[in-house]
Amino acid sequence: MSTSPRLAAAKRDWGHDETGCTTLHIDMDAFFASCEIARHPELKGRPVIIGTGPRSVVSAASYEARPFGVNSAMPTATARRLCPQGVFLPVDMTYYREISRRVFALFGEVTDRIERVSVDECYMDVSGALRRWERPTAIGAWLREEVARTFGLTCSVGVASNKLVAKLASTNAKPNGMLLIPVARQAEFVQMLPLRSIPGVGPSLGRRLEHWGVTTVAQLARLDETEIAQACGSTTHAHSLYLAARGLDTRVVMPVSPEKSIGAERTFDMDAVTAGEVTSLLLWGADRVASTLRGKRLMARTITVKLRFADLSYSTKSHTLETPVTMASAIYPQSVRLLERMLGMPEGSASDNDARLPRPVRLAGVSVSGLADTATTPVQASFDDLLAEEDAGMGPCSSDGRATRIAGSARVHDDSDDDGGNVDTDGKRGRSDNVGGGTGGVRDHMTNTTARSVNAIRMGQAEKALDSIRQRYGSDAVRLGLRRPQGTHRTDKE
């Protein structure tokens, strides 16, 4: 469900010259709601709203719900007030993903040059399919007809020479339309749109540009690249905005898009007011993200924490590490530090579960980015790391089962900036028992740094043991640590 600004005047005939317009953007219309209506035809013509929890937000709304002011990301409670006669249904991602899989299989009959953006949206490079289809608009028309005939759903199609203009065209073709923007008119088309139509121009950047007197794409196009850089504070962002204001985009359709980030977030049933409630959720998120990283054989360098507050405003803060990580024992301590900095709390204060937060938190989450393939990413081990590996001397599946016991009792503490923090195998702070066996004399002479490295290695072994359990019994069969979650939080994402 797109919430990008649309302009009624943009939905018109821009001409019929399709030369060079080999990029299509296909966006399913109100996908979740439309899937439910296709499954329950008796709902056709009624305002259908996806999202039912008292603390949830609207995931999608049928077009019949739009006149009541209902939109995605709106609190469900607000939607109920605006549209009490609406049909409110829970999110069924398993069903939506299956329909999405079948829809994309249909798209694949045209070309394999498909860049999937989300469950209901993609780009297509149809240059190689024109010998059969002759015109890009013929492909767009066929896709719309087949989606409607096969699935009882509608989609909107943008046809242009690049991804930016195709995306803007499909947005302004909604619902159930197709818009062709010839190459010669793409600058004119883009420059008639609201500034917020340009991807990447959110509320914050929009306000900064307003200070420069820029409220439309046409006004943005009058600035040179240096002026845009001064306005937005980023030369890289300025270059993309400079091109966008002229209807230009150098990005190509990527059939296999590399994963950009991995994250996990949850909404609290009641606003969290203590540090323990949020750090408990961050520990869950770090564990889930780290397990996903390892399952996909990826490493991450940047950690980001996201908070949404009671007024639905949100904040994010990131930290980039010198060494990429794959373990929750490295991600969690960093996420706690980010939490403290975001809320202006003294360093280390979040370790007190009962510490009051400066403001209530509605949702919290952690994500990682700067992803790289584990097999091809060199990581230089320090001398202490090498000593620690020798001292640890225990694989994740040792015959005596000690790794499993470590997994069951591990706690993560934020004592330093080292990846992995200080992980105690008995849950007591400051103690390093000789779990590996036979190395007590060596440990007495180890530096604190090496001791932390040993703990980090053992924690890594423990986390890999948890992966084995999850593969056999499911992702929710076991969780990292023995911390009792502070408060409750929902499993659905906002």
pLDDT digits 0-9 by tens, 315-341 = 999 999 988 999 998 999 999 999 999
For residue 395, pLDDT over 50 is answered with no
Residue 336 or 465, more confident: 336
d(CA 221, CA 232): 14
Q: Catalytic annotation on 98?
A: no
3-state class (DSSP) for residue 260: coil
**442-458 average pLDDT score:** 52
DSSP letter, residue 467: H
The share of the chain scoring above pLDDT 70, in percent, equals 75
For residue 429, pLDDT over 50 is answered with no
Average pLDDT, the chain: 82
What stretches of 255-386 adopt beta strand conformation (E)?
A: 261-274, 298-309, 314-325, 356-369, 372-373
For residue 384, pLDDT over 80 is answered with no
**338-349 average pLDDT score:** 95
The confidence band for 417, taking pLDDT boundaries of 50, 70 and 90, is very low
For residue 415, pLDDT over 80 is answered with no
For residue 5, pLDDT over 80 is answered with no
Whole-number pLDDT of residue 204: 82
**150-157 average pLDDT score:** 97
Q: In the chain, how long is the greatest CA-to-CA distance?
A: 82
**420's tokens:** 């992995």
Query: Could you tell me how many helices (H) and strands (E) the chain has, helices first?
Result: 17, 15
Say if strands 121-125 and 114-118 run parallel, antiparallel, or are unpaired: antiparallel
**373-390 average pLDDT score:** 60
The share of the chain scoring above pLDDT 90, in percent, equals 60
The one catalytic residue among 18, 36, 64, 121: 121
For residue 487, pLDDT over 70 is answered with no
d(CA 166, CA 387): 56
For residue 482, pLDDT over 70 is answered with no
3-state class (DSSP) for residue 293: helix
For residue 418, pLDDT over 50 is answered with no
Whole-number pLDDT of residue 237: 86
For residue 116, pLDDT over 70 is answered with yes
The answer to whether 433 and 426 are in contact (CB under 8 A) is yes
Reported residue count of the chain is: 494
Least trusted range by pLDDT, from 53-67, 90-104, 412-426, 454-468: 412-426
Distances (CA, A) of 298 to 240, 369, 376, 463, 493: 28, 10, 10, 15, 23
The answer to whether 455 and 411 are in contact (CB under 8 A) is no
For residue 225, pLDDT over 60 is answered with yes
Least trusted range by pLDDT, from 144-153, 290-299, 334-343: 290-299
Whole-number pLDDT of residue 91: 93
In tens, the pLDDT along 253-288 reads 999 767 789 999 998 989 999 999 999 999 999 999
d(CA 285, CA 339): 13
Compute φ and ψ for 114, nearest 5 degrees: -120, 130
Whole-number pLDDT of residue 405: 33
